[in-house]
Chain A
């Protein structure tokens, strides 16, 4: 089974994965979506870290350390960031972090990642502005985005059919560039939320 869900809080994500396991869905892979295998309902202990590795060797060393310490690496790749672990035996619920600073630091790493991603889009946006690729007239006179000849002279059903048909095209013509500033804002919001969570976790709340 596949499920698409988005989290900005690792603790909530871990709890959700544990709840899924109690219903008999065990995480097997994570790409864009979470992939679950149907299993006997179980009381699992999933934990998450956030790390991107420079080399394959670093990644292997990291996984080996967790495996030695009683954690199975379930999902995550060298550069996926999110790393999913499941406690191997049936011991008491343990954590992959033993102090608040290291538990909080994963939020710092993901916050930095969102922030640098947002920054990548800023020069792109600047180029669009400086080359006049953004047409402000689209806001002032949206009629100009419609190319159907004689559209505005039609009336009644004829008009609505032609108008509604072209609207999505007209929208893309005029507003595709909006994706970039929207992405910048969205990534900045994620970076901010992760930063807040970092501070909150550090204070042990």
Chain B
């Protein structure tokens, strides 16, 4: 089976997709990513904006209705869930292998 060309996901993309399992607007994504990564990934606004733009283009996330007239809200798509799952499997395999050899 050919591996999806979007794999492996970058650390920031992985956390953004994880954060968007629930709908969120831009700044909320930044906060969630920081929280999920235990403070390791602190994204700046300009970088997040570009990342969201790319994910929309790849159809891994989509805009949803927002109560806030200024802030757009996004959520993960089925395609996004699928790529997230595949990257999870990829990393789990790496961990298992590492554990077998080094553990």
Residues of A whose CB lies within 8 Å of any CB of B are: 47, 49, 51, 57-58, 60-66, 68-69, 71, 94-99, 102-103, 105-106
Interchain CB contact under 8 A, A61 and B70: yes
Interface residue stretch chosen among B14-22, B48-56, B76-84, B89-97:
B48-56
Any A CB within 8 A of the CB of B36 = no
> With a CB–CB cut-off of 8 A, which chain A residues contact B42?
98
Known: A61-B26, A61-B70. A66 touches B45 (CB 8 A): yes
The 16 sampled A-B contact pairs (Cβ below 8 Å) are A47-B46, A60-B70, A61-B71, A61-B72, A65-B26, A65-B27, A68-B71, A69-B45, A71-B45, A96-B44, A96-B45, A97-B47, A102-B46, A102-B47, A103-B46, A105-B50
Q: Which residue of A lies closest to B27 (CB)?
A: A68
Chain B contributes a number of interface residues (CB within 8 A of A) equal to: 19
Any A CB within 8 A of the CB of B43 = yes
Alpha-carbon separation in the docked complex, A168 to B19 (Å): 65
Residues of B whose CB lies within 8 Å of any CB of A are: 12, 25-27, 30, 42-51, 69-72
Interchain CB contact under 8 A, A95 and B71: no
Interchain CB contact under 8 A, B47 and A65: no
A-B contacts at CB below 8 angstroms, number: 60
Interchain CB contact under 8 A, B44 and A65: no
Among the listed A60, A69, A71, A102, which residue makes an inter-chain contact with B50, where contact means beta carbons less than 8 Å apart? A102
Interchain CB contact under 8 A, A97 and B44: yes
Q: Which residue of A lies closest to B66 (CB)?
A: A61
> With a CB–CB cut-off of 8 A, which chain B residues contact A58?
72
User: What are the 3 closest A-B residue pairs judged by CB atoms, nearest first?
Assistant: A68-B27, A65-B26, A96-B46
Alpha-carbon separation in the docked complex, A112 to B30 (Å): 28
Known A61-B26, A66-B45; further 11 A-B contacts with Cβ < 8 A: A61-B72, A63-B70, A64-B27, A65-B45, A65-B48, A69-B27, A98-B47, A102-B47, A102-B51, A105-B50, A106-B46
Interchain CB contact under 8 A, A49 and B70: no
Residue among A63, A68, A71, A103 with the most chain B CB within 10 A?
A68
Interchain CB contact under 8 A, B44 and A95: yes
> With a CB–CB cut-off of 8 A, which chain A residues contact B12?
99
